[in-house]
Structure 1
Amino acid sequence: MAKSKKKIREQNAIREAAQANTERLETCNDAYTSGAFSYLRFLVHLLAAAQFCYGIYYYLFKLDWPEGLHEEEELKTRWGGKFKYLTFLDVIVQAIYHTVALLNDLFGSNVVTVAPKSLLRQLRDYIFATFAFPIAHNVCISFWVIYLYDRELIFPAVLDEIFPNWLNHVVHTNVALLAIMDMFTCFRRYPSRLAGVTGNVAFMILYVIWVNIVRYFSGQWVYPLLEILPIPLRAVMFAGLVALSVICYFLGEFVNNIVWAPEFQLLQRKLLKQN
């Protein structure tokens, strides 16, 4: 009889703990999917999508080429166009990501759940983890480090007459800042490391190959820095570019796990209960 009562008490305790966990998860979802938090998330995605889409449009069609610039025609027609710059490719990635995230805000679901069933939600999470966050920080870090060391190696002063300061910050600074804001407003489960890292490395290796293709057909390297580096150091730079992207991937995963640790703990308890 004593054992029976003890067993009943243990079962009641387990049931109460499970109920409390369910209530906390429901409270978390109520706070996360409605009210001020949801409006903030929607605003971040709306402003980011609009900003990057306009940046792409301005980058392609509205840059003013000053009179008397001898390299005007050469700069306009150089092989590969603006698509040879990682900066421009990254802005396209950011515009795609924030547009997908915005569509998910409007038509999908942001509920904290064990496994998102929506293809839109899964696509949003994969693009952010694999491309948007790591490439944005890769671009931001590598650009500003080289710029502060010697801007002529990556963004010559002559470009100040062509490239407005606000656009420079949109494509080299805001990409990282908005990715961080998104990290703190969107709950997501990162893909498996094999899928995420493979996608990230594949993108960067393809870009390195693309840079060399541009060099082969145009006779010029994309960035002035590559012109002065000997072959061994150039190879080190390309490897470092890929490595930095992978580091940024793991940084994003690490920060995501810290920011959303309470939600992951609730989901883990729910999963254990189901099993």
Structure 2
Amino acid sequence: MGKSKKQVREFHAAKEAAEATDSRLDTCNDAYTNGAFKYLRFLVHLLAAAQFSYGIYYHYFRVHWPTDLQDEDELKARWGGKFKYLTFLNVILQAIYHTVALLNDLFGDNRVTGVTKSRLRSARDYVFAAFAFPVAHNVCLSFWVIYMWDRELIFPTALDTIFPSWLNHVVHTNVALLAIMDLFTCFRRYPSRLSGITGNVSFILLYIIWLHIVRYFSGEWVYPILEVLPLYLRYLFLALLVGFNIVCYLLGEFVNSVVWEPEFKLLKQQKAKQC
């Protein structure tokens, strides 16, 4: 039984709509994976990977505690080393993330697509969503808010002589700025909210456990603010740290959906036409 003229028209209209969607996606991918946009993304990742790698080197090998500390104070400063600070762990995390992103730029997949076969791309997207973006903004915002309130609670003036201001901005400011630049230059699908927040919360809870281990062996909290807070406020502060990390995750997810809304709509239309 032949198709009616109406059915034929609907078939051709649907076919033309699908072809138009595919054409827009092809145009989008051509602009996104070639030309100026491609080099901008590569430059962001190269700059970030180099900057954070050098920051780790300088922080670890060139920033030293004063040599006139008493034995007890030296033990407190030495136990856990630089790895007891979320700032230092975060800059390592950022260096790893941007290196993976750089490798993906060279060998992986940057197309606007619903499904990618690139493991580098999958790793890049998950690490950014669950760890790199939220932890960078948690560190940046928490540090500068406490610093403006009372810097002695987070970054005592005594550190000014051994911790250069440029390094302070690399580890406390640029981590967030470069994460934002990355968000605007890399199309990504966020993982499921359960998967992303599980990774996000696991990271910050492990760090809080690590804080207590350092406290047990050194006899001193890593951050002076934890020393001056009474017990109930101390754990309220740590709970807020976890909660704020989740808020930063949700913020990244929301901004990503807004920035890449046109691309998500095209992918949704393409999927609907294939069904």
Fold match (TM-score > 0.5): yes
After TM superposition, the runs of 4+ consecutive aligned structure 1 residues lying more than 6 A away are none
Identity of aligned residues (%): 70
1:77 Cα offset (Å): 5.0
1:76 Cα offset (Å): 8.6
Q: Output aligned runs, 1:32-71, within 5 Å.
A: 32-63=32-63, 69-70=68-69
Any unmatched runs of 5+ in structure 2?
Answer: none
Given that residues 200 and 246 in structure 2 are in contact (C-alpha distance below 8 angstroms), is that contact kept between their aligned partners in structure 1? Answer: yes
Normalised to the residue count of structure 2, the TM-score between the two structures is 0.96
> How many residues are paired up?
274
Note closer, same or farther for the CA distance 1:150–1:23 as it changes in structure 2 (3 Å cut).
Answer: same
2:194 maps to 1:194: yes
2:29 — aligned with what? 29
Render the CA deviation track for 1:150-180: whole Å, top value 9, x for unaligned.
0000000000001000000000000000000
Aligned-pair Cα RMSD in Å = 1.8
Given that residues 139 and 172 in structure 2 are in contact (C-alpha distance below 8 angstroms), is that contact kept between their aligned partners in structure 1? Answer: yes
Specify the SS of the correspondent of 2:4.
Answer: helix
Letter in 1 for 2:193: R
Given that residues 154 and 225 in structure 1 are in contact (C-alpha distance below 8 angstroms), is that contact kept between their aligned partners in structure 2? Answer: yes
1:151 — aligned with what? 151
Letter in 2 for 1:44: V
1:174 — aligned with what? 174
Render the CA deviation track for 1:4-49: whole Å, top value 9, x for unaligned.
1111111111111111100000000000000000000000000000
Specify the SS of the correspondent of 2:100.
Answer: helix
Any unmatched runs of 5+ in structure 1?
Answer: none
* Separation in 2, partners of 1:162, 1:64: 7
Note closer, same or farther for the CA distance 1:76–1:208 as it changes in structure 2 (3 Å cut).
Answer: closer
Given that residues 66 and 161 in structure 1 are in contact (C-alpha distance below 8 angstroms), is that contact kept between their aligned partners in structure 2? Answer: no
* Separation in 2, partners of 1:71, 1:6: 90
1:101 Cα offset (Å): 0.1
1:260 — aligned with what? 260
Note closer, same or farther for the CA distance 1:206–1:232 as it changes in structure 2 (3 Å cut).
Answer: same
2:212 maps to 1:216: no
* Separation in 2, partners of 1:21, 1:239: 46
Given that residues 138 and 248 in structure 1 are in contact (C-alpha distance below 8 angstroms), is that contact kept between their aligned partners in structure 2? Answer: yes
* Separation in 2, partners of 1:57, 1:64: 12
Render the CA deviation track for 1:214-264: whole Å, top value 9, x for unaligned.
001000000000001111000000000000000000000000000000000
